Chain A
Amino acid sequence: MPPKPGPGDSAAGSGSNKRKAAQQQTPSGRGERRDKLHLARAVPAQRAEAALKDGELDLQAFVAAHEFEIRSLEQSMATSKATGSTRAFQRLPRGLRRRTASHNPKRVPKRLRSRAVKEAKQDKTPTVESRKGKPRTTRARIRAETAKRLGILAERKRRKRLKRAEAAGASPDSTNAIGKDDGAAVRKPRAKIRRNLLNEPPTPPAKFRKRQLDKTWLPTHVWHAKRARMTAPKEPLWRFSLPLTPNEKVYRPVHRTQGDRGAVMWDASYMSTIGLYGNQAGIERALRRIGVSQENCWNDKGRRWRMGCRSWSGMLSRETSRGRQQMCPSSIFWNPVPSDHEPNNDSTKKKRELFLRVHPSAFLEVFNELVRRAKMETPQLYVEDLRYEVGSIDITGPASTEALLSVLTPYSTPQQPKAAHAGLFQSLNGLTNPSALPANAMLGFAIQDPRLRYPPRKPSTPEGEDEEMRLLETIAEWPVESGTQPYGLFNRNARHAASLLPSQKFIDRRRSRITPGASLKPGVGDPPIPVILLASRSGSSTQTQGTWTLLAPWSCILPVWHSLVHCPLSSGGNPRFGGLNETRQVAFERGLAWFPADYPATAAGVEWEREQRRTRERAWAKRPKSKRVEWESLDLGAGRKGEVGNGLACDYELLYGLPPLDKADEEEPPSKPVDEDAMDVDTHESAPPKKAKDDPLHLVTVITKNTFNQLISSPDSTSPLPLNATLTVRITVLSRGTVGPCARIYRLPSTPLPAPTSSNAEVPATIPPQSSSSPSTRLPHNLRAQWLDRIPPSKTPSRQRPNQSKITKSDDMETRKRMVARELLGPPSTPFPPPKPNTTDIGGHPLVPDAVDLVGFVTTGSFCLSEGMGMAIGSVAVDKVLPDVRADGKEGRLCVVRNAGENVGWLARWEAI
């Protein structure tokens, strides 16, 4: 078998003769390749005489034979690697790999294409046919015929128009040039923005209109759709078609780029912008009502914010019958009044404008609330829905400033010198972290069309200490307050002018006239693009990476995006783009809660939780019965059977004893987003409160970290706790283990024998009585101590534990024998008969506490790459953890986290965020 029948093998049958003949016919065919491969893989070997000297054993011959063997094996490894059978498309780095590149040489980069074609021919790979051939299906044939007929019609129309123009007297060429190239002849009308009403999304081109009936595309949709997994066509997210995650594997790359080197960016145009206009006093009252109630916003500390030099970010909330209810996180910034404007001290007369940026899932709630508040004021304020007017790009990572600097060129013409903020922005060269800037810094200026300087180039990196000192001085000084001008983005006309960018063709023609490589100067037809840059910090520390948010008119996002993704970075590569999953990942790695998933007490969070439940339910039901978690048969130890509550949900109904949602309500499609925008506002206003009444999850309220800290420090029962109060916490698993969404959070069981403590009185009635009373008596009495033993001693390297009975490799034979003898002769370590499994512990892990000690649920969780251990974001019931934390601040913050459907819990520590 091993020596393949060679070409001269006489024993070969007729079949192999045929093959041989075929091989000879196609000299470059498969047979030759195979022979070559076979030859390369054969290892030369010596016969027996080589190791003998005159038929006798000999040391020299022995050594020589083995040396020959070494050489020949090394040679063989090298040749077989060199003639390796890797195909051209396999040699590509991951970023350049494309689908079906094995069958289509055109998907391979040009430098490898000829090789790919050759290999495909050699291997007789079935390759794709050109799509330009005849249409094969009836539908395609009809479509092709219609297209042909339409083309003829269009041609006829064009000829007719030309003839008419000739008759009018003008030369046909000039009309053609004007009418077609820069699009100047047909002015796009200014978008209609209605006050206090919702606006329509921009009308998409006819080609794409049918696909956007019940959703809107981002400005970069087509770009993303080729490179990312989008939301399913029938299931848009927040009425947008959003990129969920790039096609490439990016989990680890995103972790690296967002913190270490490079930059990650998102098209965040789905974030909604709301404009609020009116007198300053009225605006202040309205804002106070929706949650901007911190005193330092309105006293002298907030002067810079009110001037329009800083932005504010925080939670918005609204007054309901059950008290204040959180709506969503938001950032708010004012439009500065011109500095030369004579100061008007009467704040009721001063007309001001401001933008709110909110998440689309909470947009309607905030908008309706704002409209209501605005109408209550006299003189009335008014609200504008600027969702499709202002788009944005988020960019984070050490190279984010560098990327922005190379793409955003301030607009300056002799008539219109660049703004002060533009100069300040350009002086930020060398900044690696936007959170080093003053908190919530904000810049507004106009940029030129980024296509004029396409492709973007690396900015010169600053060198020397002088440059660094200058940068530090700029950051410390931050001279934004002198000579402020209103931001162009607030100006509707400026936004509209910016949306009339010249066509790509026109720019290409202009470029062909100048020297290659030089950049174009903005001309008369190039409008300035007003932008606003917001620098935000993640958390309060200046060490973690901050994020830049670039706001620009909706239709200018695409050219900026194209330039940004092709921007070369000094750390190598280009900025990466991320999808929705990556926003979540980045927030998680920075230890932040992500809206809406980690805010279960907001309406948007409830909606998200409901949707997640449905998704998990579907995924669970889809699996075969033998492969899905059987919740009833989960053995939690000590005779406790079954999952606590619904295993597919963060079961707040169980935790707070809320009534379950009516089945009928759940069955009906949760949201009917048919033409939400086209509906009248009146119907909207009535819709959400009705829904809120129905869903029991809306009864959960949230308390902030500050309130919680006050509650701890104040003695018992001075301030009443809101009903069903929840607290968002960050959980760090102390030893091994990771937890996922829906994991159960338990407090540590109380030390004495389970007598009903004060907190146990609030155990909801939905827990069956037998589960709360009988097994708890069977739990080991020292369960708390068992869990406390699990705290790892410390992170210092003195972890030399004495391991006695372990046989180590270094022991000599005598010691080993003695150890084995001792093990065999000694008394058995476990009593006989052994106890039944899962009664005192679960495979060495302590039992999880009882259902009465359930305090909350994990909303996001996994292994955290930045911390190197399991982390999670969750929410806990305040009334259950408060007594423990008051008693002992350190031990009260310990908890046990157990994944849904598993019986092993992990010790963890939580902290409020």
Chain B
Amino acid sequence: MYNLRVLRLLRHSLITKSTAGTAMTQSPPYRLLASQHKRRPQLGAVPSDQLEQLKADYFERSSELSNDEWDRVRSTLTDSYKYINDSNVDAVVLGMCSSAEKLPLAKSYLSYLQAQGIKPNAATLGRMLRVYNAAYHTRTLSDEEQAEIVHICDTLQGAHEILDASSCEHLIHGLVATEQHWQRAVPLLEMMKVTSAPSVTAYSTLAAKAFAAEQPELAWRLLEEMLQARKLPKCEVYLAHLAQSAQQVQTLGAQLERLLCFLERHDIVISDLVAQQLLALAQRLPQQLQATTTRLDRMGKCGACQQHLQHVAISDAQFAELRESFLAKVLIRNDVFQKSTPQEVARFKQYVEQTAPYDCVIDGLNVAYSTGNKKPPQQLAKLLATVVRYFKERRKRVLVLGRQHMRNWSRPAMQYIQNNASVFLTNNLTHDDPFLLYATLHSGQDTDFFSRDLMRSHAFLLGSELKAIFRRWQQEHQYSLVTQTQTGQIIVKEPIRYRLSAHKVGNVWHVPCCEVYTVNPSESFEVPEKWLCLSIAPNVV
């Protein structure tokens, strides 16, 4: 079942192939045929496949179009699309020329506008700077081009005192493409902060240029700022840093150490691209750096150097801080009545004082409902009893948290639980998550907890400084139930006791890698597949 548009595309491509006689790119129609489930295009935007077709129509053939042809392009755009009118057609056209090899096309469009006497507006000039930036990544720009860039920047900055965020971003990209004028981009970043938080690309391009232009201090400052704003630097920053460090062999060790410490401090996972670059660097300079890809075995041992990774434990002081603020920030928050009553909190505290310390605290309801919401109560109770037995077999002391209605669950299972664990039942209305975490924290660093909950809301409520500490503690101490097999056996996911970020073991750095760079990495505790095992030779002075 193909819809008409796809058929038309197919026919069109066949016709053009036959008439043009040259090799036309055949990929677009097949890409469309592959999946009929496309995301609905946003109202007002030109659909991307039609853009592709327009580009193929007009731009594939030559690198310059005459004035008449540009006229035709312009009128086609304004006529066929409802939301493209005279004020935004220029920017749209330049947006279509945004890749590096289309720079001559873009230039010819600007000269066409000049010939017609149309003054290009600010958005058009900004997009022009982006095209220059794209071209800069493939080759160095000539002097006239750089002068052109500077001229555009002067025009834009002269028109307004404070520029908005997107113009600033365009200007930064433009200035970074020049050799001598890129320093002007730094105050522009400050100007961006007036209206919005500067974007990841703005920070990344500027930092990469700072590395390339041998001003690492500026680059590091920008990177720290970026991570304060919780934005992850793009791969180009690391690539630029590596390229620049490779040029000075004496300081290579120190630079790499600095980079790796930075990755460790912020729990950054590098992408495959950067990993490849590191490996290439190691191959070129084997005396300074040895690097191999490796995997970890279940106990956290590196396959290459056979050393165990560092423990993820947090320090005692951090643990104490976490414990103190937990009750205030999460349980009470603003209003204790929302989550519980004061009498119940007091009763719970008393109970915990009496029966602490535990080896594991189990979130009864979370465990019981793990296999499904609508199971009968005897099955729920049995699952809970199975989990308690799991810990009893390993001779651990357990606290089970639940609610009053659990008294009505099946008698034998609840008896077993009562006999083999301490049980605390809260009112049926209270949120029992914070109780779980409080009991675990109170018992000390050795206590684990059992729940499938990701605890994202609690992590958020603790604030950004404590959030990282909480996450590490959670990674080290959370058991979760994966599933229950047909035979009734349970599969439990044990906590990962070793660190999942870049760190040093002895003298060897272990760095985790992911496949591609993502803007917002997910927060689950998965062990990265690929690790790099690096040893940096100490500097011989």
Q: Do A and B come from one complex?
A: no
Chain A interface (Cβ < 8 Å from any Cβ of B): none
Chain B interface (Cβ < 8 Å from any Cβ of A): none
